[in-house]
Amino acid sequence: MSSIGITGFETRRRFSPTLWMGLALVGLQLAIAVLALVWTPYDPTAMTGGRLEAPSWLHWAGTDRLGRDFLTQVMLGSQIALLVGSGAVLIGGIIGVSLGLLAAFASRWLDDALAATLDILIAFPTLLIAMLVVAASDQASLFSAIFAIGIALSAIVARLTRILAKRVLLLDYITAARTSGTSWPGIVLIHVLPNIWPTLAVNFALQFGLAAIAEASLSYLGLGAPPPNPSWGHLLQEAQGTVYTAPIGAFVPGLALVLLVVGINLLADGLRDVVDPTQETSR
């Protein structure tokens, strides 16, 4: 990369307001999740107030239908959202990148077969695939939700990896590397992955947001982390019956989920601005 390109990259990285806004929102959620590891306003299982109390100095977000502090429940829910998002992206990334690279290096017929299979999987909604995987397991659990969402996301990652890797393999220096005797694993590690990881990183950020929404949806349907895990989706499901008498029960976890997804999307947009210097000129 030329010195001009490096300078431009550093300038864009330093002055990307979208990136910093995304980092601030995601960082806030991360700070809350880490804080909940060592401190919460109340014991999450203790009934410290009356049922469905309004927000007060004792309970800033009120209490739930069992009299538990609602802010404590939402803080613990942030841990589940971040854990599921990270785990699902990790599983989807490992499987997706592996399949994508296999398709890019495969023979013509195997590449076409894998591409067709990925297109069919992508045609199904992510939540539907996750629901089928969870339903096929013995019982709903946090691990089954993470695994199911990761499987559902892997098809998107695999198709993107295949497309990016095939573009890199057409470049002249790849031909030179093969002529010089570089092995295929060496080409992948030295040339392919370093060239496609910036775009994959942006996609992983977007997949994180999708994973958080999918986990909340599964928990809302009773297919996610079982009680007493205070998933945001489970909190929304519990608040459904009291949304008119105690609307804060639906507002707080819904707002937390929206802020996380918006932060992730802003972070992804900011990363795209950084890793793709053509974005600014094309806008």
User: At 221, which CATH number?
Assistant: 1.10.3720.10
Write the pLDDT tens digit of every residue in 220-270.
Answer: 988 887 877 899 999 999 999 888 888 999 999 999 999 999 999 999 998
The mean pLDDT of the chain is: 86
**Cα 203 from Cα 193, distance rounded (Å):** 14
Residue 4 predicted with pLDDT over 50: no
Could you tell me the two tokens for 72? 């404590």
Asked whether residue 16 is domain-assigned, the answer is: no
Asked whether residue 104 is domain-assigned, the answer is: yes
Q: What percent of the chain has pLDDT over 90?
A: 52
Asked whether residue 228 is domain-assigned, the answer is: yes
What CA–CA distances, in Å, run from 137 to 107, 126, 130, 217, 250?
Answer: 34, 17, 11, 17, 29
Asked whether residue 234 is domain-assigned, the answer is: yes
* Per-residue pLDDT at 241: 85
Average pLDDT over every residue of 129-148: 84
Per-residue confidence at 188, pLDDT binned at 50, 70, 90?
Answer: confident
* Per-residue pLDDT at 11: 42
Asked whether residue 10 is domain-assigned, the answer is: no
CB atoms within 10 A of CB 127: 19
* Per-residue pLDDT at 130: 87
Asked whether residue 222 is domain-assigned, the answer is: yes
Write the pLDDT tens digit of every residue in 58-110.
Answer: 999 999 988 999 999 999 999 999 999 999 999 999 999 999 999 998 878 88
Asked whether residue 200 is domain-assigned, the answer is: yes
Structural domain count, the chain: 1
* Per-residue pLDDT at 14: 52
Average pLDDT over every residue of 39-65: 90
Average pLDDT over every residue of 132-153: 86
* Per-residue pLDDT at 163: 93
DSSP 160: H
Asked whether residue 11 is domain-assigned, the answer is: no
Residue 182 predicted with pLDDT over 80: no
* Per-residue pLDDT at 243: 87
pLDDT higher for 283 or 59? 59
For the packed helices 248-275 and 17-38, what is the interaxial angle rounded to 10 degrees? 130
pTM of the complete model = 0.87
For 222, list phi and psi in degrees, rounded to 5.
85, 15
Residue 2 predicted with pLDDT over 70: no
What CA–CA distances, in Å, run from 275 to 16, 146, 198, 279?
Answer: 12, 28, 6, 9
* Per-residue pLDDT at 196: 92
Residue 6 predicted with pLDDT over 70: no
Residue 3 predicted with pLDDT over 50: no
* Per-residue pLDDT at 191: 86
What CA–CA distances, in Å, run from 98 to 26, 74, 105, 122, 142?
Answer: 28, 36, 11, 17, 25
* Per-residue pLDDT at 276: 65
* Per-residue pLDDT at 1: 38
To the nearest 10°, report the CA torsion of 156, 87, 9, 275. Answer: 0
* Per-residue pLDDT at 7: 40
Residue 45 predicted with pLDDT over 80: yes
* Per-residue pLDDT at 28: 95
Which residue range forms the structural domain that includes residue 125? Answer: 72-277
Write the pLDDT tens digit of every residue in 110-135.
Answer: 888 888 888 888 888 888 888 888 87
